[in-house]
A = this chain, B = another copy of it.
Amino acid sequence: MNEGVEWATHTCLNLAWLGDERAVPAARLAAFYELPAAYLNKQLQALARAGILTSVSGPRGGFRLAKAPDQVTLMDVVTAIDGPDPAFRCTEIRLRGGSSSGTTRYRTPCAIDTAMRKAELAWRRELAAQTLADVMTTVEATNPGVPDKVRRWFDDTH
């Protein structure tokens, strides 16, 4: 899976804690984790195209969460960064070669593709069942000080 998925998810969590009052520039969001700013910007653009973030240009601009945290699933984030294509891509090799040259016509979908899709669907279902709000709840339960700390860090000037 894409590396940017991790960056994007953590950044979304930070934006969720900061609230949607103000917009945060990509450079600031990147500095929080010492990530390359320009590259994180690329990922944030993808999130904006997917409707997860809203972007504002110019001074005082930046990114903010477009929806409530409980309306954004991990599936949304992963799809925005990693693309909508399934991990297993059936190329229908059963139709190639001398095996099926003109004789057999497969009316049913490839059984292997079906099995892979079934597994991938379970994966997507699990990701779609967890929202950013759920992850926030987990973090606050295990590390209660984190949200305030994030807010203070972004309030300070660096």
Contacts and interface: CB of A to CB of B under 8 A. Distances in A.
A119 B74 contact: yes
A69 to B, nearest CB: 13
A88 B1 contact: yes
A87 B3 CA distance: 10
A3 B97 CA distance: 17
B153 A104 contact: no
Contacts of A9: 112
- Which of the four size classes fits the interface of chain A? 35 or more
Interface of A: 1, 3, 5-7, 9-10, 13, 31-35, 74, 87-91, 93-94, 96-99, 103-104, 106-108, 111-112, 114-116, 118-120, 122-127, 130, 134-135, 138-139, 142-143, 145-146, 149-150, 153, 158
